[in-house]
């Protein structure tokens, strides 16, 4: 770290292989090197300040450089820097965090299993479901249904759950036994004159049809984000989750709620399940669990799921799954302090209020010639860009309009995320009214600059 920043940037090109990056393009343009962060802002190697309107990766709920989280990590490092949870071992931070998560869960849950990331957590859930159904004498009940546009991670199994082509191309994914139904986006796929409830009926009927086609005895679980995040910020239509769950209950199909993005206040409630009336059998948590100050994720399972697994672990002598860093004491200590801050500072209610402010301001852009749809809930939003509002189309090259917006947003001191031609926003939970206003002002300015540039081209 003693080398000049310019040399660091060159070294990055020479030695780092970046995730979700065009490797050849990176060799040409290099990285945006972030050196430090304060509150909702980060700073690059040239001292330029950016408002982080994506909370890093949907995750830094408490912003950057929170002293309480830093102290929690330091204290735990000095006390017990590492210990594992294998073979009856435990430690206080893991036990206390598990107890807290069970207390917070919106429905009755039984146990918590810790991993290092949401991808690992979702991989773990699938293994648990397979293991459980073997224990129950249902070896054929193994197929998992998730949704096109859904995002559940990048391990081989979790990327099979994911319904995004970019995560499948070139990897021989999805694996057999992973099925996908339509994602709930009425702007794109609703029929003329169709109400939200009628659209939800049609999506539930699609799920019913797939289950019948495959055979209910083969379908183990339905997987979904309460609000779909990384696929493009898709808010389910009214009654959607109610009707989807009814289909699952009819066929003894478990419901898994992937709360990795939605959890800990992001939708204006502690969990997205509360916002959308979901009663899951399994919940997956990560990201804002520690505000990403430490890598940690958690799987919460109901007693219905846990008991057959527990009995089979007794029959076999062990549950043969675990991760060296799963439930790391430093990560658990930081997550506990993170939850305390969210509760003590009333950040769930604050996120709801700032979400109203954000969406009210963004909705004023709906008449802009390049805005097709504004969607979201709480402190998560998506603005879909178009060149023709009537036809709902952008450039023939999907994502080009979004990329051009991102470059101009950076120049205006704002970091957002492009999902094809949808610009995603996910400000930190701590964002103040003036910071929300700054995001909206910079968004509008970038939009107008982009329109002017396209007209001048």
Q: Classify strands 49-52 and 41-44 as parallel, antiparallel or unpaired.
A: antiparallel
CA 350 vs CA 66, 130, 432: distances in Å:
17, 40, 9
Q: What is the mean pLDDT of the chain?
A: 97
Residue 1 has a pLDDT of: 42
- Fold classification of 69-344 (topology level): 3.40.640
Going from N- to C-terminal start, the domains of the chain cover: 32-65+346-456, 69-344
Query: Does residue 3 surpass a pLDDT of 80?
Result: no
Architecture of domain 32-65+346-456: Alpha-Beta Complex (3.90)
Query: Does residue 6 surpass a pLDDT of 90?
Result: no
Nearest of 394, 391, 392, 390 to residue 402 by alpha carbon: 394
pLDDT per residue over 221-267, tens digit each?
Answer: 999 999 999 999 999 999 999 999 999 999 999 999 999 999 999 99
Residue 4 has a pLDDT of: 55
Residue 45 has a pLDDT of: 93
pLDDT per residue over 396-441, tens digit each?
Answer: 999 999 999 999 999 999 999 999 999 999 999 999 999 999 999 9
Over range 106-114, report the average pLDDT: 98
Residue 265 has a pLDDT of: 98
Over range 340-363, report the average pLDDT: 98
pLDDT per residue over 187-213, tens digit each?
Answer: 999 999 999 999 999 999 999 999 999
Map 84-153 to HEC letters.
CCCCCCCCHHHHHHHHHHHHHCCCCCCEEEEECCHHHHHHHHHHHHHHHHHHCCCCCCCEEEEECCCCCC
Percent of the chain with pLDDT over 70: 99
pLDDT per residue over 24-65, tens digit each?
Answer: 999 999 999 999 999 999 999 999 999 999 999 999 999 999
Over range 182-188, report the average pLDDT: 96
Percent of the chain with pLDDT over 90: 98
Tokens representing 321 are: 């799954």
């Amino acid at each position: 770290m003693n080398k000049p920043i310019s040399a660091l940037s060159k070294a990055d090109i020479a030695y780092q292989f970046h995730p979700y990056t065009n490797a050849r393009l990176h060799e040409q343009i290099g990285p945006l090197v972030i050196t430090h962060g304060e509150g909702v802002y980060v700073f690059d190697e040239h001292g330029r300040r950016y408002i982080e309107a994506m909370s890093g990766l949907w995750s830094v709920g408490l912003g950057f450089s929170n002293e309480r989280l830093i102290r929690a990590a330091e204290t735990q490092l000095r006390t017990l820097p590492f210990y594992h949870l294998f073979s009856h071992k435990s430690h206080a931070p893991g036990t206390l965090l598990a107890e807290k998560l069970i207390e917070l869960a919106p429905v009755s849950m039984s146990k918590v299993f810790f991993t290092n990331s949401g991808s690992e957590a979702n991989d773990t859930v699938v293994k648990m479901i397979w293991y459980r159904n073997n224990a129950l004498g249902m070896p054929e009940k193994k197929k998992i249904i998730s949704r096109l546009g859904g995002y559940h991670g990048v391990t081989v199994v979790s990327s099979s759950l994911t319904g995004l082509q970019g995560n499948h191309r070139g990897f021989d994914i999805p694996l057999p036994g992973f099925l996908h139904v339509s994602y709930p986006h009425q702007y794109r796929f609703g029929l003329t004159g169709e109400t939200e409830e009628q659209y939800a009926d049609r999506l539930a009927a699609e799920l019913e049809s797939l289950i019948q086609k495959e055979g209910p005895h083969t379908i183990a679980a339905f997987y979904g984000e309460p609000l779909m995040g990384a696929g493009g910020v898709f808010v389910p239509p009214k009654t959607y989750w109610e009707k989807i769950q009814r289909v699952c209950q009819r066929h003894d199909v478990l419901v898994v709620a992937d709360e990795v993005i939605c959890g800990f206040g992001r939708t204006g409630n502690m969990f997205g399940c509360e916002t959308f009336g979901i009663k899951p059998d399994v919940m997956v948590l990560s990201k804002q669990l520690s505000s990403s100050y430490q890598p940690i994720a958690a799987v919460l399972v109901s007693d219905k799921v846990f008991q057959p697994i527990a009995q089979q672990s007794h029959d076999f002598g062990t549950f043969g799954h675990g991760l060296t860093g799963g439930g790391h004491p430093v990560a658990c200590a930081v997550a506990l302090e993170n939850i305390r801050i969210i509760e003590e500072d009333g950040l769930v209610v604050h996120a709801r209020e700032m979400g109203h402010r954000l969406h009210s301001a963004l909705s004023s852009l709906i008449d802009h010639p390049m805005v097709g749809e504004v969607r979201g809930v709480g402190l998560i939003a998506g603005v879909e860009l178009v060149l023709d509002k009537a036809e709902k189309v952008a450039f023939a090259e999907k994502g080009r309009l979004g990329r051009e917006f991102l470059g101009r947003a950076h120049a205006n001191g704002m970091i957002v995320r492009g999902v094809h031609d949808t610009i995603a926003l996910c400000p930190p939970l701590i964002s103040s009214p003036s910071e929300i206003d700054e995001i909206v002002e910079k968004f509008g300015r970038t939009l107008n600059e982009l329109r002017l540039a396209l007209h001048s081209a």
